[in-house]
């Protein structure tokens, strides 16, 4: 495969991983808040 | 002209040629556990692996003596190769388990090999906590191979320019073509898997090391927990599962990798290549978040009503982990099996059964109905309800986004419902067999959902002492569910056509 049709760019992959971390963090905090609502 | 009449002896030879190719490379994969066992001076185990590799290679190479097919593979051939390869690779991969002496019978070893490849995680091993390093390595590795797709692996690296290879890819229940070329698609899947493998092994290994484990053990545990977590298999090297590590950070990391593993590879590719909008526009992501949050509420209500956990954080820590483990089809646990049966009560257990049946996303390592199907059926129901409120002449159009904007049609809903019905029927059969053997209905349903959703959480039924009939039932359920029925039906059709001439005419 030539350079022009590379499957991934390093910078884009790093940004993508950041989005994942944010997404999982969001889900986690939302879950924690929900459990607090139910508990009290 | 019928489809089955086309399967000639020549084509059967072609099917066996490809199966041989796949078996050969699966046998080569045993070199990894062999090296681990040599490194830890487990000589007996190393001999077991050498023997198993020899048997696998002999079988694989013998099958490759058949002539390689020249033309395009038909859909039936592609699917049959996938389903037949899975049977053979399970039989070969079970050999080192059986020879290790940690399984009561070859059937038990087959159960674990099938459970690993289908990324289920139910196990019949007799003394997990004292399993040799080499055997552990093989158990965890087959989870990764099964999750990523063995056929995909062979396509990627070992079978260049196979005509009709897309049909093999679909046969292994991976249907989204990430890139126009299927070999590039398979490569993208493996690059994504290997990238997360590096991140997962290092991060989990570092935490295990900081928690006081020896460096080599910490690295191996990091690798193993990633392999089975990402794949949604849930095999662990210790019987206490994730509870063994006594670490909140370790739990959080394994939770993140379980979630990431249940994400469609096409979505990973989109997020990692500038198309991040896909993450929140995709119907699967929406359905997944809605499902997780709704089931979370149900779970908390049930646990809170019974007062199982004293603090909000404890309730969240246990509830959220178990729910994500069930929903992603992983089966890691931070509670004991007995807790499901005796402490959690009916509502939380019912919630977990739903999560296990729903599963993760299509085209991921996860099992279950898959969120795309749940989302499409949900949209279909909403569309039908809307029709009730509009004049009869009105045309109700429902759109959804799945890598491109689509208009919902009856074909979408029908395809989704067909698989859902097959899953539910399989779940019912599994539950029925459990109940027939005298297990309580809730436990039988829980275990059956775990097998059909390729999850691996257990209410305590699955053990070496389980009746043979149930072992065979669960093996078949795991196999059918992982390959999403169609390829197995293709194999059965070919067998029927081969056995009866009449069937050829009927089909």
pLDDT per residue as tens digits for the range B352-371 = 999 999 999 998 888 889 99
Q: Nearest 5 degrees, angle CA B402-CA B273-CA B483? A: 50
Neighboring chain B residues of A2 at a CB cutoff of 8 Å:
none
Instruction: With a cut of 50, say whether residue A2 has pLDDT above it.
Output: no
B377 burial via Cβ count (<10 Å: 0-12, 13-18, 19+): middle
State whether residue A23 sits within 8 Å of chain B by CB.
yes
pTM for the structure as a whole: 0.90
Q: Answer whether residue A16 shows pLDDT above 90.
A: no
Closest CA–CA distance from residue B25 to any residue of chain A (Å): 24
Chain A: residue nearest B304 by CA?
A39
Dump pLDDT digits (tens) for B140-183. Answer: 999 999 998 887 777 666 665 556 666 766 677 666 667 777 77
Mean pLDDT of B384-395: 89
- Tens of pLDDT, residues B261-280: 999 999 999 999 878 889 88
Count of CB atoms within 10 A of residue B409's CB? 11
Identify all chain B residues contacting A19, using CB atoms and an 8 Å cutoff.
271, 276, 279
How far off is chain A from B403, nearest CA to CA, in Å?
17
Cα(B226)–Cα(B73) distance, integer angstroms = 35
Which helix (H) or strand (E) covers residue B407, if one does? strand B405-407
Alpha-carbon distance A34 to B476, whole Å?
39
> pLDDT tens digits, residue range B216-258?
999 999 999 999 999 999 999 999 999 999 888 899 999 999 9
**Strand pairing partners for B95?**
none
Instruction: Please judge whether A31 and B252 are an interchain contact, meaning their C-beta atoms are less than 8 angstroms apart.
Output: no
Q: What is the dihedral of CA B38, B39, B45, B46, to 10 degrees?
A: -20
């Amino acid at each position: 495969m030539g350079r022009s049709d590379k499957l991934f760019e390093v910078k884009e992959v790093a940004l993508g991983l950041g989005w994942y971390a944010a997404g999982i963090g969001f889900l986690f905090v939302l879950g924690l808040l929900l459990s607090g609502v139910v508990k009290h | 002209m019928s489809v089955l009449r086309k399967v000639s002896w020549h084509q059967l030879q072609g099917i066996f040629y490809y199966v041989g190719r796949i078996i050969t490379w699966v046998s080569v994969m045993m070199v990894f556990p062999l090296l681990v066992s040599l490194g830890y001076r487990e000589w007996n185990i190393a001999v077991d692996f050498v023997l198993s590799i020899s048997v696998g290679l002999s079988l694989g190479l013998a099958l490759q003596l058949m002539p390689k097919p020249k033309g395009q593979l038909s859909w039936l051939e592609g699917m049959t190769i996938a389903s037949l390869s899975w049977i053979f690779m399970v039989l070969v991969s079970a050999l080192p388990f059986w020879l290790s002496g940690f399984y009561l019978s070859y059937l038990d070893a087959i159960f674990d090999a099938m459970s690993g490849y289908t990324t289920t995680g139910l196990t019949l091993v007799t003394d997990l906590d004292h399993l040799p390093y080499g055997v552990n390595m093989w158990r965890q590795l087959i989870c990764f191979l099964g999750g990523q797709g063995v056929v995909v692996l062979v396509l990627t690296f070992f079978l260049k320019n196979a005509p009709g290879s897309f049909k093999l890819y679909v046969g292994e229940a991976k249907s989204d073509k990430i890139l126009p070329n299927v070999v590039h698609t398979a490569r993208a899947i493996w690059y994504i898997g290997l990238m997360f493998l590096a991140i997962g092994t290092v991060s989990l290994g570092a935490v295990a090391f900081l928690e006081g484990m020896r460096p080599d053990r910490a690295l191996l545990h990091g690798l193993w927990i990633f392999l089975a977590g990402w794949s949604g298999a849930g095999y662990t090297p210790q019987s206490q599962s994730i509870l063994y590590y006594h670490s909140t950070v370790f739990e959080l990391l394994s939770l993140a990798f379980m979630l990431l593993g249940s994400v469609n590879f096409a979505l990973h590719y989109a997020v990692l290549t500038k198309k991040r909008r896909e993450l929140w526009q995709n119907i699967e992501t929406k359905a997944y978040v809605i499902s997780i949050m709704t089931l979370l509420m149900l779970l908390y209500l049930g646990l809170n009503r019974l007062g199982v956990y004293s603090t909000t954080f404890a309730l969240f820590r246990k509830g959220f982990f178990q729910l994500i483990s069930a929903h992603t089809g992983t089966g890691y646990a931070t509670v004991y099996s007995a807790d499901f049966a005796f402490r959690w009560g009916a509502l939380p257990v019912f919630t977990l059964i739903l999560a296990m049946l729903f599963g993760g996303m299509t085209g991921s390592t996860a099992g279950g109905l898959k969120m795309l199907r749940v989302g499409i059926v949900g949209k279909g129901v909403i569309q039908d309800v809307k029709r009730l409120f509009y004049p009869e002449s009105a045309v109700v159009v429902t759109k959804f986004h799945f890598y491109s904007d689509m208009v919902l049609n009856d074909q979408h809903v029908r395809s989704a419902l067909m698989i859902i019905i097959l899953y539910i029927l399989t779940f019912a059969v599994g539950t029925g067999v459990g109940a027939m053997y005298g297990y309580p209905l809730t436990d039988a349903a829980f275990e059956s959902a775990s097998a059909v959703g390729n999850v691996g959480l257990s209410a305590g039924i699955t053990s070496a002492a389980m009746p043979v009939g149930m072992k065979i039932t669960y093996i078949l359920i795991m196999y059918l569910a992982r390959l999403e029925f169609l390829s197995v039906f293709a194999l059965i059709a070919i067998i029927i056509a081969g056995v009866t001439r009449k069937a050829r005419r009927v089909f």
